Structure 1
């Protein structure tokens, strides 16, 4: 058996798979977010470890109920939310709450990092507030006493690793999201570390995702009745999610509909298009890279509109939207509730409904939300295409993939078949378990371990609807952003400090 542990933004998830790749047990434990100031997003790393313990122990109990002994676990793999800055002192004490991927305070520091000679060639990316390096630059400027105590910087999943094995280690895919990695060469960049006042010694060791970084600590092995099994380097959540659905070869692509929306396409060489805020990262597999477009808000927009319209759940809202089938003259929605990455790289972008009429209904707002997220995803997919990596078919994963209505709408918007596969809603934990197997069995076949799960459905695009979205709705969607951008870009404090809060509150009202 192989155990995958995924530290998400809203929950820690655990999954157990057998040698045939079948999921035998699952468990999770929820997490909460803190937003102490406008554009800030933080979590206490202590809650990560407590949630991980709970998820693993629930998982092992569920497995035991099915007659599966924890002694059969042969390896553990890790995945997690990317970019989070977990700062430790020399005694491994957490110095401050972790600054998360969707935190937007460090845009001024991004502009400074862009001035590092050769920046884009080293990182393959724009400097964005979501990445880790600008966060450390912000701490250096605004919290110097904390910065002076920093001995190690760990990414979220690697904080769990420290508790599991006692090792400071990470994988290439997660490290690529820090802006400290030389992405083409898969090694730490001294010049990027120098720009943040850090050193290689501050960083965890680098490993490929399929490598073991250490073994389970004796006290945990005893607590869980396991051997001291190897713990795989694993991958960032998107790379691990791709491994989980078999997106491992050049030209394969997936669309992840979680809290954020991600389009992920695999390349057998380094490619980049930073001018459109396309992310260029290492994959969790050796000698493999990927391009990624990222929307900060995807399924989270559905939660927003369900709450706004007083619906008891997203499921209720989706059912109402499907019954109404939408209107071609319905309102439009900008999905930028907490800023945006691809293609705008605009931390100040905000959400908006436009085109409301006296007869607009809650179902109209729901359909506008589904469509607006889809049009935002299309912008990102076209940016990846422009980098030279085009996929004719896309696999859909994440919680949003459970809606047949929305996935068909997305196929119509994007104009490509969308495939749904079993286990697509398990997410990155499944990929982490697969990486655990590859670490425990170095001779295992990649094609066998990372095979695509069985096909469940294919959403073929309706050509007439695709033409409608491309010819009528996409131009309106893009123009709406251009029209509103000067308003909200001037409404927020730009230094990310608490002093900017009152101005930033105005921009939050744009939603």
Structure 2
């Protein structure tokens, strides 16, 4: 038996698989995000521990005997979060999350130093970890002075599980402290934020052993003491392991809280000017590129809250037949945007509203706006040297065939839907736990699921969506100018 723990922004998920990679069961526990000021997004790291205990307690109600036979654990988690620890191992302040934009000035200052893009292969985005520590130094100097270690969220869970401060390449590539080509911390990047290697965890590959489960925690969770914990992966790389997106130019489109267009690469292909992320993959000797949309299903969730409807009810109102874009256009920049704009200050908007605009008009425009943002990422990937022939859809938004047909039409690519099953980050983490525990071949474990069906572009509507996309592209500079 092997266990995957995926620390998401809104929940912690525990998933149990057997040695044939058959999913036996899963459980989750909710998490909340605090937004004490405009642009801020924080979580209490202790809530991650409570959620882990709750999820495993729930899983243990049906699978106690199986949990007692677990041989390896894999970890996945939301990336970039600054979890600061003092010399006594205590959390200094709430974790500053990936979608927190307070450090956009600090990010711009770091990004102005050419060494960052040259060594990391990426723009220094406000959501990355390094500018958050620079912000702490300027705004919370006493807290910054007490920092002994900076950990990414899933690696704080590892610290609790094993007592060891260890990270891995895929997650660490999103800090702006990693030389992504060399897969190692860089002293000059750390020094730019007042840190050195003593503040960093040790580094391993995602498939390697990275600590063992402490006896007291094992007894608490109903797991065997001493079992290995894999290096694991950041959430998107873990999802790629779950989907088998590990071969060159294999790709998926994740319609989750954020949106990700993810392409695996067998070589390092940085192109920071495109605002595409070039990160290490969880498997040794591999990398990946991502176009990142900060508010994908989060945009639909926002509309659902405003209209007091469930997201699924909103998409159901659209019916089964894809319609041409209407007069209403939506920019999904509720928390700013990464690819291709690298703009933490921009905010979303509706344009083209008229008396006839109803709830379904707004829903359609939200879905279409997210699809157009994916097309921006597709263009950025092409600029960075990656051309895609098809994508596999994952994430909560992939349950809407309407949304997927719109996405396929906008991207002009076939969209594959995998056979029923859970192939997300928790499954990928469990696979990494299996690999680390058994020293298994990563490529033989991280295989692709069978395709249940494929959604193809609606050629009758291609021209209409192309025309609407050009309107969408013109809106960003207009809105940015109005907000300046």
From 212, 234, 237, the counterpart of 2:235: 237
Q: 1:195 to 1:333 in 2, by over 3 A?
A: same
Q: Check if 1:383 corresponds to 2:376.
A: no
Q: 2:44: which partner in 1?
A: 44
Q: 1:467: which partner in 2?
A: 463
SS of equivalent to 2:319 = helix
Q: Deviations over 1:64-98 (max 9, x none)?
A: 4xxx5322211000000000000000011110000
Mapped contact 1:71–1:227 kept (Cα < 8 A): no
Instruction: Report deviation, 1:324.
Output: 7.9
SS of equivalent to 2:416 = strand
> Matches of 1:425 and 1:356 in 2, distance apart?
39
Q: 1:260: which partner in 2?
A: 258
SS of equivalent to 2:127 = coil
Instruction: Report deviation, 1:337.
Output: 0.5
SS of equivalent to 2:432 = helix
Q: 1:364 to 1:193 in 2, by over 3 A?
A: same
Q: 1:16: which partner in 2?
A: 16
Q: 1:457: which partner in 2?
A: 453
Instruction: Report deviation, 1:55.
Output: 1.1
SS of equivalent to 2:75 = strand
Q: Check if 1:118 corresponds to 2:115.
A: yes
Q: Deviations over 1:230-283 (max 9, x none)?
A: 000100000000000100111101111110000110111111121121101000
Instruction: Report deviation, 1:226.
Output: 1.8
Q: Check if 1:278 corresponds to 2:276.
A: yes
Q: Check if 1:213 corresponds to 2:210.
A: yes
> Matches of 1:367 and 1:198 in 2, distance apart?
47
> Matches of 1:34 and 1:328 in 2, distance apart?
35
Q: Check if 1:354 corresponds to 2:351.
A: yes
Mapped contact 1:343–1:380 kept (Cα < 8 A): yes
Q: Which moved more, 1:447-456 or 1:76-85?
A: 447-456
Mapped contact 1:292–1:384 kept (Cα < 8 A): yes
SS of equivalent to 2:68 = helix
> Matches of 2:8 and 2:242 in 1, distance apart?
15
> Matches of 2:398 and 2:284 in 1, distance apart?
29
Q: 1:477: which partner in 2?
A: 472
What is the RMSD of the two structures over their aligned residues, measured on CA atoms?
Answer: 1.4
5+ residue gaps, structure 2, are none
Written as runs of structure 1 = structure 2, the 5 A alignment for 1:21-40 is: 21-40=21-40
5+ residue gaps, structure 1, are 491-511
Mapped contact 1:151–1:202 kept (Cα < 8 A): yes
Q: 1:495: which partner in 2?
A: none
Q: Check if 1:433 corresponds to 2:438.
A: no
> Matches of 1:145 and 1:151 in 2, distance apart?
13
Q: Deviations over 1:197-236 (max 9, x none)?
A: 0010100000100001111001122231424210001000
> Matches of 1:247 and 1:398 in 2, distance apart?
15
Q: How many residues align?
A: 483
Instruction: Report deviation, 1:287.
Output: 0.2
SS of equivalent to 1:29 = strand
User: What TM-score does the superposition give when structure 1 sets the normalisation length?
Assistant: 0.92
Q: Deviations over 1:18-44 (max 9, x none)?
A: 111111101000000001100000001
> Matches of 1:257 and 1:390 in 2, distance apart?
20
Q: 1:496: which partner in 2?
A: none
> Matches of 1:340 and 1:425 in 2, distance apart?
28
Q: 1:424 to 1:281 in 2, by over 3 A?
A: farther
> Matches of 1:15 and 1:423 in 2, distance apart?
16
> Matches of 1:397 and 1:111 in 2, distance apart?
32
> Matches of 1:124 and 1:240 in 2, distance apart?
21
Written as runs of structure 1 = structure 2, the 5 A alignment for 1:25-104 is: 25-64=25-64, 68-104=65-101
Instruction: Report deviation, 1:423.
Output: 5.7
Mapped contact 1:257–1:398 kept (Cα < 8 A): yes
> Matches of 1:323 and 1:408 in 2, distance apart?
10
SS of equivalent to 1:72 = coil
Mapped contact 2:120–2:178 kept (Cα < 8 A): yes
> Matches of 2:183 and 2:418 in 1, distance apart?
31
> Matches of 1:187 and 1:325 in 2, distance apart?
47
> Matches of 1:359 and 1:327 in 2, distance apart?
16
SS of equivalent to 1:474 = helix
SS of equivalent to 2:330 = strand
Mapped contact 1:255–1:262 kept (Cα < 8 A): yes
Q: 1:358 to 1:327 in 2, by over 3 A?
A: farther
